[in-house]
Structure 1
Amino acid sequence: MGILNATPDSFYEGSRTTTDRDVLQKASQMLEEGATILDIGGYSTRPDADTISIEEEINRVVPTIESIKKEFPKSVISIDTFRSEVARAAVEAGADLINDVSGGNLDKKMFETVATLKVPYILMHMRGTPQTMKTLTNYENIIADIMTYFQERIIKLKSLGVNDIILDLGFGFAKTIEQNYFLLKNLSVFENLDLPILVGISRKSMIYKRLDIPVSEALNGTTILNTIALQNGAKILRVHDVKEAMQTIKILSYLGKEKD
């Protein structure tokens, strides 16, 4: 999954696209490098990100989706939003699945909207909002708490007829750096839920703060953690750097075949 942000303030400058030409150039590059999904976001969810209106978010993502679908009609697009109105507008514009960082917490109409639209749903774990999540990192048992969070929402989604669900532990969202690494180490526990796991750790602070480097130098660390994620059960990697992620997948796949 390649990250393509229609925002001026995403934490990694390399993922930002501000013109139609930028969008198509970036989309073309990611698809050529092997991306099977393009994740389009119009609202930065980095810590302390500015809030924007629903209208502004729609105005950012809908033209982006329409441009990509026109140029690359076979591309698969996910809309990265926690707002049901944005999700609906995006799917109507051509998006194929919904990637909700809030797990339905920030818009109570999201689950019903997903059910109505009949598209796959990425269910992520987060507490609070992008503006407050840094203060909400206290857990009694982080694995048990996230497992319960998923189980409750999976039951609700399935009761509405949503069965195509992907799980995302939400690395960096209401978690300390230490908690992020603990979850990555124990990622395979969540395979017990029998749903595909998406991991989004590309260039995040758990890498560049731990190594004391700028985000622009966090590619090597990203590749290392993506490797660990795949070995621990991840089925989708959400990344800024598609070529390097695909190389990681191909090498691990080759090793797996040799083992068999």
Structure 2
Amino acid sequence: MPLLPGAEPFRHDGGEVGVLVCHGFTGSPQSVRPWANYLAERGLTVSLPLLPGHGTRWQDMAITGWQDWYAEVDRELWRLRERCSRVFVCGLSMGGALTLRLAARHGAAVSGVVLVNPANKVHGLAARTLPVMRHLVRTTKGIASDIAKPGIEETGYDRVPLHAAHSFRGFLRKLDTELPQVTQPLLLMRSPQDHVVPPADSARILSRVSSLDVTERLLEKSYHVATLDHDAETIFEETHAFISRLVGSPAAASHG
């Protein structure tokens, strides 16, 4: 199955500091590729995987679940650990949720966490009916391209497969119980005006994690896919500054 434009995974071999970047639910690497590029251009080793079932057509996603998506980012984390002395994990939306689980489960293997509009719950009345509705209706309308900046589109599905949404909901409920295991330094950036993930999700995450080093930034000019929006440069700069502070500037120590 051919990939959608920009949906291919991305890897860059740089210095001793590695960064894993995770895209969101029904999205693709395209939505976070500028973030990955920015970090790669500054000498970091970067991995941006394509999650299973994403980046092609929604029918492919309908036969995948959270275990598949998590397994992919878990593999990439260990690939980075094999060649890097420190690894940071970043994620947008569901990518933020995957990031938090990596941090909760792998402890010191993750040096820090960067979240942009992270998801904590599948919202709305429809969420409660997913266990039944997924057997009756295959899809609902898509959530891609919640972007304030004119002329910018996210490469993602125009339909959400309900089997996948049901799996995602189960994953978020599981993750919520694991959040207290997150102890790493954490940078959370969120858009007050987000039509996909409400501010309550970020508030819930911040209230549940055990991290002592926590920074929150507001992305006032952007919607959900802030990595392609007006505040994108702020996200990139803040991420690099966060990593640099934790590893000692510059963030990209030479490899070897």
Do they superpose with TM above 0.5?
no
Larger relative helix fraction? 1
Which structure would you say has the larger RCO, counting Cα contacts within 8 Å and 6 or more residues apart?
Answer: 2
Using the size of structure 2 for normalisation, the TM-score is: 0.40
